[in-house]
Amino acid sequence: MNKLLGYSLLAMTSLALSGCETADDRKLAAGQACLDSATSSNALQCKSLVDGLNSAEASMIRCSANFVSQGLTGSKIAESISKIKDSSGTVDGTTGMIAYLIFPNASPSADVAIADCTAAGSKAMLRLATATKLATLMAQTAQALGGAAINPNSPTLAQDMQNAVNSIATGSPSAAQLQAIGNTAITASQAYCGDGSSYVGTDVCNDLKAAVDSSSDPATIAQLLLNKMKK
């Protein structure tokens, strides 16, 4: 998982072997080595090892550490991706995808992940971060409306998220809650439906784009998206 999320060590190894290693190179190597063996309890320490570095490599370490610290394992990300094309049964494809990407803890926030992944220049990680923010907002909003907290380790996680989406879509979320979801949908649409994205034509892009293209008002966009995602 950590190597899946982390930046390749190849460039750092080459620098070391060439004898041209700098202090920054050593900090990057230490940060990556930390990330390769990190767990949710210590992943944020890896970010501190690259403090002061603003390169794409350092930002990728920070970006990846956010996900590891929130317990997003390789199996969860794989399960998320597998749900995108599966909108059969009682769970919408977009809903099933985001279900596995909830950040259960307040810190680091999904906004921090988006900022770090943007700085890293990785479109794939930015997509993951925007989906994470959407998932976390949906879970928080449903709970604020009286629903149960979603357990990210639940064996019925996808259905739990579908129930949350349904409750928001048919409930009475505040204007502020809808605006937050709508603004995140705009960012996610740009990430998933942009030029060259392999997600064009999938449920997630179709749902996001249909909502975003239908209005310029974030609250309206949120309601349109929720109506697409509900079952």
Q: Are 131 and 97 in the same domain?
A: yes
Supply the pLDDT for residue 19: 56
As a whole number of angstroms, the longest Cα–Cα distance in the chain is: 63
Q: Is the pLDDT of residue 13 over 50?
A: no
Supply the pLDDT for residue 190: 96
Q: Provide the residue range defining the domain that includes 103.
A: 87-231
Confidence of residue 21 (pLDDT cuts 50, 70, 90): confident
pLDDT tens readout for residues 151-197: 999 999 999 999 999 999 999 999 999 999 999 999 999 999 998 89
pLDDT tens readout for residues 44-91: 999 999 999 999 999 999 999 999 999 998 889 999 998 886 666 889
Q: Which two tokens stand for residue 198?
A: 């392999």
User: 80 lies in a domain?
Assistant: no
Q: Are 95 and 156 in the same domain?
A: yes
Number of domains in the chain: 2
First to last CA, the chain: 32
User: 177 lies in a domain?
Assistant: yes
User: 198 lies in a domain?
Assistant: yes
3-state secondary structure 46-64: HHHCCCCCCCHHHHHHHHH
Q: Are 55 and 107 in the same domain?
A: no
Q: Are 21 and 108 in the same domain?
A: no
Q: Are 5 and 92 in the same domain?
A: no
3-state secondary structure 2-36: HHHHCCCCHHHHHHHHHCCCCHHHHHHHHHHHHHH
Q: Are 59 and 91 in the same domain?
A: no
User: 54 lies in a domain?
Assistant: yes
User: 75 lies in a domain?
Assistant: no
Q: Is the pTM of this model over 0.75?
A: yes
